[in-house]
Structure 1
Amino acid sequence: MSNRLVCLCNMVSEQEIINELKKGAVDASDIQYATRAGTSCGKCLMTIDQIIEEHQLVQAQNPQGKLDL
């Protein structure tokens, strides 16, 4: 996990996206709504999808994980 910028247009970091996933976001549209990442030029949507996929894999390996509210 890093604090790299994923969405340069809206200055959204990877950590911000992960935080939203931990709160219950499940897809790119949830991330877009919560952070505005991917709503300008859209170049970061593939990266957002990768972050979501990685997060879902970690959650599948740890089914006892809790939502961070």
Structure 2
Amino acid sequence: EEDAGAPAVREAAKAEGGHATLLRAPGDIRAAIPVFEPPAAAVAGLTARLKESFDPAGVLNPGRMYAGV
């Protein structure tokens, strides 16, 4: 399966007040879905600003945590 059921797992975790992180998967699945659950907009903005302050050249694991970070 292309997404390995990730949306269903993440929805179930969210319904219980949690979140899900992809720990292990073949390369095709890791390429198809984000490893970390996408953060809320406010958290995403804060994360991007922190990353920019510590890594202004964007060379440390670009796109590894979240898309665009």
Output the TM-score relative to the length of structure 1.
0.31
Is the strand fraction higher in 1 or 2?
1
Higher relative contact order (Cα pairs below 8 Å, separated by 6+ residues): 1
Is the helix fraction higher in 1 or 2?
1
Output the TM-score relative to the length of structure 2.
0.31
